[in-house]
Amino acid sequence: MKRSEETKEMGCVCPYCDEEIALNPFPYCRPCQVELRYCLKCTIVVERKAKVCPQCGQPLE
């Protein structure tokens, strides 16, 4: 598996532009200039203002 494919599987890519995101201290996409967060249930990266995870439906804090 290529690094980019591994990164996508781990949810470490921006959901908007598919670019790898910086993970420390919070997920942040430099090209989109968007701060993101993780779903605690399925561990994907989601938009910071999302109320529920688009993948599993878990409410986000």
The closest of 55, 15, 53, 52 to 35, measured between CA atoms, is 15
The closest of 49, 55, 60, 57 to 8, measured between CA atoms, is 55
List pLDDT tens digits, range 10-56. Answer: 557 887 888 888 766 677 888 888 888 888 888 888 888 889 999 99
Query: What is the total count of domains within the chain?
Result: 1
38, 27 Cβ separation under 8 angstroms: yes
Asked if the structure places residue 57 within a domain, the reply is no
pTM: 0.54
Structural domain range at position 33? 3-47
What pLDDT band is residue 4 in, cutting at 50, 70 and 90?
very low
- Number of alpha carbons in the 13 Å side-chain half-sphere of residue 51: 0
Asked if the structure places residue 58 within a domain, the reply is no
Asked if the structure places residue 27 within a domain, the reply is yes
Residue-level pLDDT at 36: 83
Asked if the structure places residue 55 within a domain, the reply is no
Asked if the structure places residue 59 within a domain, the reply is no
12 vs 6, more confident: 12
Q: Quickly tell me which residue has 């670019």 as its tokens.
A: 19
